[in-house]
Amino acid sequence: MKTILFLIALSSHWAFAQCPISLNISGQSYCADFQWVYGESKRQGQLQPSDQMSPQLIRKGEAPIKWIYSKGQFQIWKATDTERRSVQIEGFKLFPHMHMKNGHHHGTSYDWGWDASLQAYVFKAMSLHEMPGCWSVRWTLGEETLEGSQLLFSIDSFKNLSETENNKIKKLCVE
């Protein structure tokens, strides 16, 4: 019995490793993976690489010169492709979304595009500001609205916050 349970656990771990995020887009099954990478800071109006890993929460009252803009890479492939060859999907995009308890849901600034050298989408220049709500990443083939998109994942842990601060965000976002 222990062997059977071990094999079930091992196969579910293997399946997750092969398809970390499952998506159904226009009737086609895809797998995807999102990786946070080092963020960027703005110097003289230009984004520059930073030494801070994303995601970063921009604190209330923080001077813009100290802001770290979050950045990530998103790879998507057909679910049947065991070699995980990246594909581009026309009209597909990710966007950051703030869900607020007072109903004032909104996005923020960001850049989104395909990087041919990485064979992945790059999601960058995200200004994730601290406010009473929960940040998430959503996907769409159309408009960037709550109704016209689907949740990809919630952002409930920030690299520049303490464990206590991140736990407060997690608690807020599950209530």
On whether residue 13 sits in a domain, the answer given is: no
Partnered with residue 121 across adjacent β-strands are: 74, 114
pLDDT of 17 reads 55
User: In the predicted model, what is the mean pLDDT of residues 101-117?
Assistant: 91
Percentage of the chain modeled with pLDDT above 70: 90
On whether residue 6 sits in a domain, the answer given is: no
* 98 touches 130 (CB < 8 A): no
Q: What is the mean pLDDT of the chain?
A: 89
On whether residue 10 sits in a domain, the answer given is: no
Could you count the other beta carbons within 10 Å of the beta carbon of residue 113?
Answer: 10
Partnered with residue 47 across adjacent β-strands are: 42
On whether residue 2 sits in a domain, the answer given is: no
On whether residue 49 sits in a domain, the answer given is: yes
* 54 touches 159 (CB < 8 A): yes
On whether residue 44 sits in a domain, the answer given is: yes
Strands 120-126 and 69-78: antiparallel
**CA nearest neighbour of 123 among 24, 16, 40:** 40
On whether residue 136 sits in a domain, the answer given is: yes
pLDDT band at 12 (very low <50, low <70, confident <90, very high): very low
pLDDT tens by residue, 42-97: 998 899 999 999 999 999 999 999 999 999 999 999 999 999 999 999 999 999 99
**CA nearest neighbour of 94 among 132, 51, 149, 41:** 149
Give the residue numbers spanning the domain of 55. Answer: 21-174
* 39 touches 69 (CB < 8 A): yes
Alpha helices in the chain (DSSP H): 2-18, 163-174
Look at the chain and report how many structural domains it folds into.
1
Partnered with residue 42 across adjacent β-strands are: 47
On whether residue 104 sits in a domain, the answer given is: yes
pLDDT at 156 over 60: yes
